[in-house]
Structure 1
């Protein structure tokens, strides 16, 4: 039984509320809060019961047949969300906005967040040792292109405008290989980059979300970018006023605002990537070098990162992984990094003191994000 085929006027008031909400978020699985459970109905229930191996039941909905239904407990929802997100699904969380005990008639409900592979912030769904990037890819009809990368869990955002003499699609794929995003947001024109789309589908295997061109528009987006980063013009951020880079950032901010249903104060700066500062490595080179995972088992153990990583905090582990995936090529910056290593190498006592202090440092980057989104626990997770 599909909800689209059901006469809505025959549904019970609560199921009409469900149907109206589902219509707005037709591309998502709708987690509909009923008391201590998130319930799914009709085709969503059938899908989730199959994916999570849950018992499929039914609910009286005003029709002759009972509506297919399954549910998950509110207090352990993260476990189920993780499984669905790992399989590429998007989930709309519909919460009770009024107290059922005090409500007269139907409880008010609304979607408070859309959970996607690239917008996770919960520690139980993330790898402490790696960033969880989402990428906004904008490709213009004039051949201009830009990629904006963001990690909502840490508040990092960067902008890359592919440059060089090599083929554009190769440069785009090299940049995607560098960040390996969990989700790709793009405009319709970007679908014409066939080799990039094949690369994303076959090699990266990340979730892909197509957005309307209006989401990348600078008509209102330019002002939103300036407000987000507290500047008067995009040039102060190192972004061209009417360039593809600005459009990519617009697409990123618009998507995050839509999925999080709130202002995204976590992002306070943006790093404009200079491709000349780091070594260009395609995905094959990264895998053959086994920088962060082995070729055969795709495991961290046995990789170069596994050998070198003795960081004491999750923030340090992610930073080291970033440095290894984006090797410097400018001698001055390489020497500065080596000087820092030498300073601690020559002062072993200071090194041990600093390491002891870092043992008591939580993952502040992600803890700050969870605090802003009111998701922080009383006992923050710490790297062991």
Structure 2
């Protein structure tokens, strides 16, 4: 607080707000009140300027009203996106019980902290780019760098050793373009890294305590997030820099998401993995993904090659261009696959047509696992799954390519999932679950009965009246209603 106040004189709700604010560190608190997320005191003054909102006031128990501004809950994502793009963290504080049923003050709690590196909403992400949260840790003569995209579940780990490890770290930061970097103060005090972060990147730098990287404290968090029973199963050492950096990264994900969901099933450990090392200057001068002068995709190598049909394909192509292969066998596998597709124009045309109907499955699955999926997300998941059998069928005609044969074998048709969703959801579901009308009539017997009661309540009351008149023999029996007892 910029100005000290006597908290004992505040209203209970405002004391609740400040308790949440104190526990949220430097994050702006979006405090749910009815149909709005409200901000008070310093947050209200700041956000009203940043987002050009009207600054009002609210009685709070003090002689002067508390500064206040707010945004509608149904359009909150557009405001979150603007604040995150400006480099702010936002704590979402929700009502944890129905206000109509609450006895006294409504219970509230932070359900998530939104930061640049932890976004999963499609409206807040660029579908063509990965959105990496990265972490760095150093131990003895080794540096470990880990980058995870929680919107897709991808995790990449690099272990750097030798005299060039600092330069290699800077190259990795430039390669992955993380939206947010978790780092300790010791690293930020290291001039080469600090200078690069200040002058050559736009990522949010989040300072973390050494305890966040403690293997002893965070081991279980990593194992639960990855659904593994040991570090060895994940390709990690028991107590090295690689284990510590993963601890720091997954602890932050659990802290901000307020959940451990097992989304990350694999950690890709990179070593001498046949990928060409390019420093930041080489990447820019080669104009791999953007031009040197205008910083646009058009005119770059990516702009020339990108004929992809899906968001997943666009992200993969960008990764392949930024990390060119050096192993002849892997290069030839890709070239053979491309050549085979070019020679089989019918199969290629059919695959492009099928892929055009595929949604962003990677990010859809993340929203499902973080329980952020909307009814339309589920419908998109089903529509994507419906294309998979036909895609597999086309790939089976291209057996001369080892790469395409493996791809066909790796694709699961997800038939049970698509069948369930198609049976359960209406053809055109609403945007939000709260809007209702998500589940088809006939899918769930109890739901059908409740809907009938809701839509035909008057008829049901009339039926009860008739039944009770007949049972009691009283022709004058009628039902009544008041707010205290309800129907009687």
Tell whether the structures are fold-level matches, with TM greater than 0.5: yes
**Greater relative CO (CA pairs within 8 A, separation 6+):** 1
Q: Deviation of residue 232 (structure 1)?
A: 4.1
Q: Deviation of residue 377 (structure 1)?
A: 2.7
Q: Which residue number corresponds to residue 21 of structure 1?
A: 20
Q: Which residue number corresponds to residue 182 of structure 2?
A: 185
**Greater CA radius of gyration, 1 or 2?**
2
Taking structure 1 as the reference length, the TM-score comes to 0.95
Matches within 5 A, 1:130-279: 130-140=129-139, 142-166=140-164, 168-279=165-276
Give me the whole-angstrom Cα distance separating, in 2, the residues matched to 1:283 and 1:254. 29
Q: Deviation of residue 4 (structure 1)?
A: 5.8
Q: Deviation of residue 228 (structure 1)?
A: 3.6
CA contact (8 A) 2:40 2:69 kept: yes
Give me the whole-angstrom Cα distance separating, in 2, the residues matched to 1:228 and 1:373. 12
Out of 330, 342, 345, the position equivalent to 1:345 is 342
List runs of 5+ in structure 2 lacking aligned partners.
385-488
Q: 1:122 to 1:232 in 2, by over 3 A?
A: closer
Q: Deviation of residue 279 (structure 1)?
A: 1.0
CA contact (8 A) 1:163 1:275 kept: no
Q: Which residue number corresponds to residue 62 of structure 2?
A: 63
Q: Deviation of residue 75 (structure 1)?
A: 0.4
Q: Which residue number corresponds to residue 354 of structure 1?
A: 351
CA contact (8 A) 1:39 1:70 kept: yes
Matches within 5 A, 1:30-49: 30-49=29-48
CA contact (8 A) 2:224 2:260 kept: no
State the Cα deviation string for residues 338-383 of structure 1 (Å, max 9, x = none). 1111111111111111111111111100001111222223334799
Most deviating of 354-363 and 155-164:
155-164
Give me the whole-angstrom Cα distance separating, in 2, the residues matched to 1:201 and 1:116. 19
Give me the whole-angstrom Cα distance separating, in 1, the residues matched to 2:34 and 2:111. 16
Q: 1:275 to 1:88 in 2, by over 3 A?
A: farther
List runs of 5+ in structure 1 lacking aligned partners.
none
Q: Deviation of residue 164 (structure 1)?
A: 4.8
Q: Deviation of residue 238 (structure 1)?
A: 2.3
Q: Which residue number corresponds to residue 99 of structure 1?
A: 98
CA contact (8 A) 1:239 1:246 kept: yes
Q: Deviation of residue 210 (structure 1)?
A: 1.1
State the Cα deviation string for residues 122-145 of structure 1 (Å, max 9, x = none). 0000001010001011123x2421
Q: Which residue number corresponds to residue 330 of structure 1?
A: 327
Give me the whole-angstrom Cα distance separating, in 1, the residues matched to 2:336 and 2:147. 30
Q: Which residue number corresponds to residue 71 of structure 2?
A: 72
Secondary structure (helix, strand or coil) at the match of 1:236 reads helix
Q: Which residue number corresponds to residue 365 of structure 1?
A: 362
Runs of 4+ in 1 over 6 A off after TM superposition: none
Matches within 5 A, 1:272-311: 272-311=269-308
Q: Which residue number corresponds to residue 88 of structure 2?
A: 89
Secondary structure (helix, strand or coil) at the match of 1:5 reads coil
Give me the whole-angstrom Cα distance separating, in 2, the residues matched to 1:288 and 1:77. 40
Q: 1:222 to 1:153 in 2, by over 3 A?
A: same
State the Cα deviation string for residues 173-228 of structure 1 (Å, max 9, x = none). 01111101000011233223221122112211210111111111111333443344
Give me the whole-angstrom Cα distance separating, in 2, the residues matched to 1:223 and 1:20. 29
Give me the whole-angstrom Cα distance separating, in 2, the residues matched to 1:353 and 1:136. 42
Give me the whole-angstrom Cα distance separating, in 2, the residues matched to 1:67 and 1:231. 48
CA contact (8 A) 2:274 2:327 kept: yes
CA contact (8 A) 2:235 2:267 kept: no
Secondary structure (helix, strand or coil) at the match of 2:155 reads strand
Q: Which residue number corresponds to residue 377 of structure 1?
A: 374
Give me the whole-angstrom Cα distance separating, in 2, the residues matched to 1:18 and 1:99. 18
C-alpha RMSD of the superposition: 1.7
Q: Deviation of residue 165 (structure 1)?
A: 4.4
Number of aligned residues: 380
Q: Deviation of residue 295 (structure 1)?
A: 1.9
Give me the whole-angstrom Cα distance separating, in 1, the residues matched to 2:320 and 2:245. 24
State the Cα deviation string for residues 286-344 of structure 1 (Å, max 9, x = none). 11211111222222222211111011111111000100111111111111111111111
